[in-house]
Structure 1
């Protein structure tokens, strides 16, 4: 899904950056902070989806509600999520050539939109939903846009 080419895009600032704060999660291989600042004149609604290497799609922001997080003009929100290696890939992760890719898609809308319909269970749906997740820690112009962030996790022996 890409940003529509018609209409104006609302003004905002988005950052997704790795943080060293794993919040005590011993299973986290990396932790990421998402920061969103509304520079638009109206409320914006923010939703983040995680596209996993197991072809699953999971909403990570907001974690429980279906509609995006409302952000008032000139306000910002921050959240942290952890990347964990699936149990079924733990053996591969210990090898030197392991690489895992998550794509975080951030949707920004000027109206409330429920993106839960885009969620897909991972292909191995015999495994519980918690098997492969990013884990959130907390928690007239129809302008909307999408930003992507690729997150690549390599084995312990491999470095870039």
Structure 2
């Protein structure tokens, strides 16, 4: 059975998918009421699953009449994706940022589910059992090399 965070994430992604502009505006309290949860649960889902690394821009206005606006940031072309990879990865990259980039590329259909799974496994701190900053440097080199090979197909 899925947990409440998964259900909220899926609901928001469905709304985004159905939106012609790729933008959704929600009120935290209304969404919390819909899912019978506290507003902080909505905050948690948005802050962990709708990040810029995962391809989302989030804007929040608090107070009466406040809202949360989530916008999907699509990667338009292969050249733009390659530039994005170079900017995101750089000389070193931590595991969270690497996984966010992989997620974004999978969501944009530049990577298959299987490719994304393999990339996540390869850049995991469980596999790269090295001390920092060497671990993040090797992760960056591995990730760039694998993405260049996969995106050149």
Q: Normalised by the size of structure 1, how large is the TM-score?
A: 0.27
Answer with 1 or 2: which has the greater Rg. Answer: 2
TM-score, structure 2 normalization: 0.28
